[in-house]
Amino acid sequence: MEGIDFRAPEYYTNRELSWLLFDERVLDEAKDETSPLFERLKFLGITASNLDEYFMVRVASLKDMVHAQVNIKDISGMTPKEQLMAVNEATHKFVQAQYDVYEELTARLKTEGIEIISAHEKLSEEQAAFADKYFMEKVYPVLTPMAVDSSRPFPLVRNKSLNIGALLVRKKDAQGRALISVHADAEDYELDFALVQVPDVLKRVVELPGAENEKHLIFLEEIIERNIEKLFLNYDVICAYPFRVMRNADFELDEDEAEDLLEEIEKQLKKRQWGMAIRLEIQQGMDLRLREILKEELNIADEEIYEIPGPLDLTVMSKVTKVEGYEHLKKEDYIPQRPAMFSSDKDIFSQIREGDKLLMLPYESFEPVVELIKQAARDPDTLAIKMTLYRVSGNSPILSALAQAAENGKQVSVLVELKARFDEENNIVWARRLEKAGCHVIYGLLGLKTHSKIALVVRNEKDGIRRYVHLGTGNYNDVTARLYTDVGLFTCSPLIGEDATAVFNMLSGYSEPAVWNKLSLAPLWLKDRFLYLINRERDFALQGKEARIIAKMNSVCDQDIIAALYEASAAGVKIDMIVRGICSIKTGIEGVSENITVRSIVGEFLEHSRIIYFANGGNEEVYMGSADWMPRNLEKRVEILFPVETPEMRAELKGYLLLQLRDNKKARILQPDGSYKKQDLTDVPPERQLSSQEECCKISIEAAKKHDADMIRRAFIPEFKKR
């Protein structure tokens, strides 16, 4: 290891380009011919939603740095300008790949009797009449056409809104005699620009009449485009094309100057709609004159213009999958199972007193978390309930229970993180409701996002005060709990209870204990804790003792952490990373990362849990928490890492990690060249082909049927015995 610079830029992958590789893996799911057709359409839509957020935040941030002439290099040695150039090149290729998949999937839809028709194609007389009538009756009354001239400036185009831009020529006289034909060369005539926003209050996918047992669909913008002359009666429409603008949605708060954080965030949210344009999507073939007007008015560069060979905004694919009568094209939704470890006949507090409980979402139901808060709200012995909330659903049963608890006279303290990106508005609404109900609401900490997932219930019991704690890797969101893989721990451990109290005292005031029992917090010393644990494995390897790390999380791009992993790998530590998204690690580097494997699992559920296993010289340890190995999580957020202390639970979680390492159906392995590849299963017999998510579903269903609380544990434990 001597002489090796583990921080050398060539050992790291740029985080922005790594994220694009993640979206490519999602696109791979849309290409998977073994999946039902509607499932593939769903993944195509997800790639579009992912890309939107990527531009609004990450690309916007790069543009800000370029404009500010920031030349600081990232861990891979790239300046912001170099990153932006590489991202633009990669995303243009990715968008083309998206629409190649779109063409394939729409062709498949047609063979199944579902056809997406363009207004530019020949509609049948019946379909044309239906579209025109639909326009006049349903669409026309909602539209607001906006012309641009000397008295009417170019309108503000909202972020992510779908619009139709048109070039017009005024008619010669009131009798309607056209100055020129719509199809004539209009170069010598003065053109006017007009804009029509496609209303998002109307459904975008419209079903046209057609033959029995067939579905003919058309997008709303196509109907508007077909009838656009009806909006400009005194003009001839030279051309009309849809376009879409993506704007910088990442705002910065000067929290020191903000007297009221809630009001300041509300102001910034309004600005988000009108941030700097960072991407312009136009339909392929758009008139060059119209393109130039949009380019100039939006102040956007050529490389930021995306010519789209199909419908704009492929998130619409999720609407197509809602077409009725095609159940055979859908994947049956998995129903989270009632956890066998919890009995509906006993109160949840007595069950937690029996021993720590582990909850694995979405295989098991989120209901015990909801039940903990509901029971506490109406329980006469409950004195206080405290929670941190980062993202919650729009109709959250937990927040309703918290409000009820306050009305019942409990002391309720809730930290609502107003700075949770794209959930700010929802969180503001809930914060105000909770305040009205009598809850004490904290709006996060100055300069930090509170990303930790912790709930504390304080009860007055016969033997004194007892604290019940739930710690998790995911948000207290009953909707995403059906879609994300997360793990939660229920405990009434006195030491963890003391730490939980200290966490909330720190969040609500300025009280920080001198000593913590079990929990590790960011940004205080969580990063140092991770580095200590990694370096400890390195030292065990050098001593010839058992040394291994298995780490599962969403993202890894912190240079200090990666450098420590490289050093541990060089010392002989076997390191298996299960990283869903961004990963700046490079594998297969001689003397640096030969002992590191990285895999990404993309499947029906979004892999979201953070679990880290350390062999620790044979005295195994398992930790879970809310933090990824990213600078923002370790240095700019309030995060919690907690140990799993029950030997059986440690064994269960290790078995779960090893099961994921055996996944050969949905896992992609990071290659030394930076690409991700699936295992070739051509010669692998079916009984040896495994999807970890499918296997967990099967185990959970069987455990629920037999009311066997130990079945999941028994299913996982043999996995590590084999290794």
CB-based contact 585:563 (threshold 8 Å): no
Residue in 128, 115, 117 with CA at minimum distance from that of residue 226: 128
Report the pLDDT value the prediction gives residue 186, as an integer from 0 to 100: 45
Q: Outline where 523-585 has alpha helix (H).
A: 526-542, 559-570
CB-based contact 497:618 (threshold 8 Å): no
Out of 120, 183, 451, 707, pick the active-site residue. Answer: 451
Residue in 426, 349, 338, 396 with CA at minimum distance from that of residue 712: 338
Can you tell me the mean pLDDT for 640-646? 96
Taking all residues of the chain, what is their mean pLDDT, rounded to a whole number?
Answer: 89
114: pLDDT strictly greater than 70: yes
**What dotted CATH number matches 348-518?**
3.30.870.10
Pairing of strands 676-678, 667-670: antiparallel
Distances, alpha carbon 508 to alpha carbons 413, 440, 454, 501, in Å: 9, 10, 14, 11
Residue in 227, 22, 220 with CA at minimum distance from that of residue 145: 227
CB-based contact 445:433 (threshold 8 Å): no
Distances, alpha carbon 499 to alpha carbons 239, 390, 525, 587, in Å: 66, 20, 15, 38
* Spatial separation of the C-alpha atoms in residues 722 and 433, rounded to whole Å: 53
CATH 3.30.1840.10 domain position(s) in the chain:
9-329
> For 546, how many CA atoms within 13 A lie in the half-sphere containing its CB?
9
| DSSP state string for 244-313 | EEEE-------TTT-S-HHHHHHHHHHHHTTSPEEEEEEETT--HHHHHHHHHHHT--GGGEEEESS-S-
84: pLDDT strictly greater than 90: yes
Distance between terminal CA atoms of the chain? 28
Q: Which of 95-109, 396-410, 709-723 has the lowest mean pLDDT?
A: 709-723
Report the pLDDT value the prediction gives residue 397, as an integer from 0 to 100: 93
- Give percent above pLDDT 90 in the chain: 73
Q: Is 451 a catalytic residue?
A: yes
Report the pLDDT value the prediction gives residue 161, as an integer from 0 to 100: 93
Residue in 453, 478, 506, 504 with CA at minimum distance from that of residue 624: 453
SS (H, E, C) 322-376: CCCCCHHHCCCCCCCECCCCCCCCCCHHHHHHHCCEEEEECCECCHHHHHHHHHH
CB-based contact 160:303 (threshold 8 Å): no
368: pLDDT strictly greater than 80: yes
Residue in 610, 579, 378 with CA at minimum distance from that of residue 471: 610
Contacts of residue 510, defined as CB under 8 A and 6 or more positions apart, other chains included, come to none
Structure tokens at 259: 């007297």
Report the pLDDT value the prediction gives residue 184, as an integer from 0 to 100: 43
Report the pLDDT value the prediction gives residue 272, as an integer from 0 to 100: 45
Per-residue DSSP letter, 448: B
Would you mind telling me the total number of residues written for the chain in this entry?
Answer: 723
Report the pLDDT value the prediction gives residue 210, as an integer from 0 to 100: 81
* Spatial separation of the C-alpha atoms in residues 643 and 623, rounded to whole Å: 4
Structure tokens at 340: 């066998």
> For 139, how many CA atoms within 13 A lie in the half-sphere containing its CB?
29
* Spatial separation of the C-alpha atoms in residues 531 and 566, rounded to whole Å: 12
* Spatial separation of the C-alpha atoms in residues 678 and 689, rounded to whole Å: 12
**pTM of the model as a whole:** 0.91
* Spatial separation of the C-alpha atoms in residues 85 and 366, rounded to whole Å: 43
Report the pLDDT value the prediction gives residue 261, as an integer from 0 to 100: 47
| Structure confidence at residue 120 as a pLDDT band (50, 70, 90) | confident
| Structure confidence at residue 710 as a pLDDT band (50, 70, 90) | confident
Can you tell me the mean pLDDT for 535-559? 98
Taking the CA atoms of the chain, what radius of gyration do you get in angstroms? 28
| Structure confidence at residue 183 as a pLDDT band (50, 70, 90) | very low
Distances, alpha carbon 500 to alpha carbons 22, 313, 341, 429, in Å: 35, 44, 24, 26
Distances, alpha carbon 258 to alpha carbons 222, 261, 439, 509, in Å: 45, 6, 23, 19
Can you tell me the mean pLDDT for 476-504? 96
- How many CB atoms lie under 10 A from the CB of residue 325? 10
- How many CB atoms lie under 10 A from the CB of residue 190? 9
Q: At what angle do helices 80-111 and 15-31 cross, to 10 degrees?
A: 10
Residue 638 φ then ψ, to 5°:
-90, 110
Give exposure, 464-494, as e/b (b: 16+ Cβ within 10 Å): eebbbbbbbbbbbbbebbbebbbbbbbbbbe
User: Topology of domain 9-329, per CATH?
Assistant: polyphosphate kinase like (3.30.1840)
Q: Write out pLDDT tens, residues 211-246.
A: 778 899 999 999 999 999 999 988 899 999 999 999
Contacts of residue 458, defined as CB under 8 A and 6 or more positions apart, other chains included, come to 382, 383, 384, 385, 386, 465, 466, 467, 468, 501
Classify 521-721 by CATH class.
alpha beta
| Structure confidence at residue 418 as a pLDDT band (50, 70, 90) | low
Q: Write out pLDDT tens, residues 673-689.
A: 999 999 999 999 999 99
Per-residue DSSP letter, 198: P
- How many CB atoms lie under 10 A from the CB of residue 595? 21
Q: Which amino acid is at 357?
A: K
| Structure confidence at residue 508 as a pLDDT band (50, 70, 90) | confident
177: pLDDT strictly greater than 70: no
Residue in 402, 246, 389, 213 with CA at minimum distance from that of residue 312: 246
Report the pLDDT value the prediction gives residue 190, as an integer from 0 to 100: 75
Contacts of residue 173, defined as CB under 8 A and 6 or more positions apart, other chains included, come to none
Q: Write out pLDDT tens, residues 607-618.
A: 999 999 999 999
Report the pLDDT value the prediction gives residue 259, as an integer from 0 to 100: 44
Pairing of strands 574-579, 548-553: parallel
CATH 3.30.870.10 domain position(s) in the chain:
348-518, 521-721
State the burial class of residue 12 (Cβ atoms within 10 Å of its Cβ: 0-12, 13-18, 19+).
buried
Beta bridge partners of 606: 484
Q: Which amino acid is at 595?
A: N
> Of the spans 11-25, 267-281, 392-406, which averages the highest pLDDT?
11-25
* Spatial separation of the C-alpha atoms in residues 357 and 623, rounded to whole Å: 15
Structure tokens at 22: 């993640």
| Structure confidence at residue 406 as a pLDDT band (50, 70, 90) | very high
Cis peptide preceding 155, ω within 30 of 0 = no
Report the pLDDT value the prediction gives residue 182, as an integer from 0 to 100: 41
Higher-pLDDT residue of 254 and 622 is 622
Report the pLDDT value the prediction gives residue 723, as an integer from 0 to 100: 40
Residue 497 φ then ψ, to 5°:
-60, -40
| Structure confidence at residue 721 as a pLDDT band (50, 70, 90) | very low
State the burial class of residue 509 (Cβ atoms within 10 Å of its Cβ: 0-12, 13-18, 19+).
exposed
* Spatial separation of the C-alpha atoms in residues 288 and 311, rounded to whole Å: 19
Report the pLDDT value the prediction gives residue 594, as an integer from 0 to 100: 96
Report the pLDDT value the prediction gives residue 244, as an integer from 0 to 100: 96
